[in-house]
Amino acid sequence: MSEAFLFPGQGSQRVGMGRELAEQRPAARRVFEEADEVLGFELSKVCFEGPEDELQLTANQQPAILATSIAVYRCLLEHGRLPAMVAGHSLGEYSALVAAGTLSLGDALRLVRRRGQLMQEAVPVGVGAMAAVLGPAPEEVAAVAAEAAAATGGVCTVANLNAPGQTVIAGHRGAVERAMELASGRGAKRSLLLPVSAPFHCPLMAPARAGLTPLLEAIEFADPRVPVFCNVDARALGTGAEARDALIRQIEGAVRWVESIVAMVDAGASRFVEVGPGAVLAGLVKRIDRSVPVVSVGGPAEVEALLSA
């Protein structure tokens, strides 16, 4: 069986994540200890105990999810469970690159901590928004977004192509809300604003891209040991240089998740394992291709079940 590991992004966090795993498995505990040391504060405590509002801060949320995901991965790795290929949703692409040996854990933690800060600073709170549009095809959502942008003079573009019938848009709040109205008037099943602190994966993230690019360029990126399917191109990366470039473009670019999963299946993936907190990606995979089994692994019991399978 050709197993593909998937790593979650923002929205998968919960207070208490990683706690039982760190208590029971030294490999996981060492990841959180390294994270605390690298970042200079107790990220582990934020993960294990919260409070919720502190975990929700983008600059904490991103390294917290990465650390938890890699803690789970290291537990699988120490028992010889290696993926044939990997991918990560938005932030999760950093976890995927750590798993592929392209980025060190320390470098990835520092990068996503700063990434979260820059993304939050790029757009004042309340100015931007993201919304999920359910029902229409991606090209129809893109057309509605473009029409709303033209009508309002703001930014509104497709940010995430998550699953068939689930496309996320991002941009100025007024433009996004106008796009939601247009979509609803043209047969969308539902359009809803997402509880996020900034409009990710759209041109409004240009300041974040400008701030993160020199940091990415200063980091060593090794060639991946296994194929890494990147968000912006929905294809496998072959070199460390390609991985760096993909992360730079990903900040403003759309997350092409549907195409990424299809490409992985075409490349031979016969089973998906969501590695990290939550089960968001497993749900998306089931909507994209029900013929391929998928499991979510985030706690000790799930790790044990996968290793025993």
Q: Which positions are annotated as active-site residues? A: 90, 201
- Contact assessment for residue 8 and residue 86, using Cβ atoms and an 8 Å cutoff: no
Provide CB contacts within 8 A for 181, sequence distance 6+.
Answer: none
Helix, strand or coil for residue 298? coil
Residue in the block written with tokens 């670019």: 253
**Whole-angstrom distance, CA of residue 189 vs CA of residue 136:** 8
Listed in sequence order, the residues at least 6 apart from 76 whose beta carbon sits closer than 8 Å to its beta carbon are: 275, 297, 303, 306, 307
Residues 6+ apart with CB under 8 A from 139: none
CB 119 within 8 A of CB 170: no
**DSSP letters along 188-235, please?**
-SEEEE---SS--SSGGGHHHHHHHHHHHHTS--PPPSS-EE-TTT-S
Which pair of tokens denotes residue 141? Answer: 């959502």
Element (H, E) at 128: strand 128-134
